[in-house]
Chain A
Amino acid sequence: MKQFIAFVKKEFHHIMRDNRTLLIILGMPVVEILLFGFAINMEVQDIRVAFYDPTPDDFTTGIAERIRQNSYFNYQGKMQSMEEMEESMRKGKLDLAVVFPQKFQESMVHSGKAAVQLLSNSSDPNRGSISVTYASAIIAGFQQEQADLIQIPFRIETENRMIYNPLMKSSYMFVPGIMGLVLMIICTIMTSVSIVREKERGTMEVLLASPLKQGTMIFAKTIPYMVISFIDFIIILLLSYFVLGVPVNGSLLLLFLVAILYITLTLSYGLTVSTLVDKQVNAVIFSATTAMIPVLMLSGMIFPIDNMPMVLQTLSAIVPARWFIEAVRKVMIQGLGITMIWKEMLILIGMILFLLGVTIAKTKKRLE
């Protein structure tokens, strides 16, 4: 026991006395949150819109007015011709063009229908389709108003609401992902580097020749990173709650439980990596490739899993962060209880056991 404590203290010393690493460990979550929260914004805003309206009338001006007044749109003016419109779009000065046909109101009133053409710059397909959606919604709203005025019975009114995330804030999506990424980096990369560093330095040999049990040493090495990652988790939670306004709708205790599970998992993976490589450099590269990149790409952190091709969706299932992020989203954003995340938790536990098994099997009792 005394050995263990002495060793844990030593590990803390190593971390605390390395300023650069300390900066990364404690500064990273802050930077990530601020970056994702403020700088990277997936919401579609500032849609530059222009109108082509050869025969303006009450309807066309009404629709144009409503679009212009909407805060998501940025009114660029009226175009004099389709060529001007296309020119603008091609030069990248226009995101959405609203084209009214001749005599819009007349067609509407007399034949009960008229068409509005929406042309959107879809070099960013996401942005393009959402711009069209917004504009369509506004037009539909206008149409609704007109219908109200004429008082047709048996109207169907649809009311859209985005549950859990009414403001469609992308930060809700990112925060669980950032947690998954940061914890993975700290626990996996740092832990594996810490163990491999002993090998590289030659102190491993000295430790092996001493009565210190390997298990004690490895466990002692994971303790500081467990503590630090938990601190980071709390930092992320606090920042996202107070700075980004992301709610914590579910049980905080459950959230901590899920975090502990995930931290244990990433630490175990760090241990596994340390049995596979001999140099710190390799530990970093191996961890980064197998841990960070899959987390960024496949865990559902940035890109929705459902949109991926089947192959990648299957691959995503072995990325631990995917299950962690799902569980966190369910608990934090949706406020669900343990009954809804038992599947994710079970998968995480299974992965932990697997990784620990591999680690123990690969840990050599003697130098070979």
Chain B
Amino acid sequence: MSELRRVMCVEDDADIRMILEFSLTTVGGYDVCMCPGGRSALQQAPVFRPDLVLLDVMMPDLSGPETLAALRGMPCMRGVPVVFMTAKAMPDELEQLLQHGATGLIVKPFDPMTLPKDILPYWEHGRGRHVLA
């Protein structure tokens, strides 16, 4: 059984990128690719070939849903779980986000000490889904 190794993070806030990188590399031991925006993620995805993507929702260049739609159209991203990270906390807002086709949601702020474990279920149960027809 393969393991979760490569995690791509798409986040425009530098402080959140900083704590994400600490969490996923220092605590979790993953290989991480940090992208400051959606356009960067679209460029990096074919090169980095992530096993899982953590995707911010509110970003200035491409929004999270726009980035998700573009990633889903890339052959190299077939079956790769994409998890939204959002500071939105209202249930109706979260439900709306899931309707964009994300594998799941992680509500910010996250705990940097537990995030590496928290993302595992999304990979274990989400990989292989959302393949192109």
Q: Do A and B come from one complex?
A: no
Which of B's residues lie within 8 Å of A, judged by CB? none
Which of A's residues lie within 8 Å of B, judged by CB? none
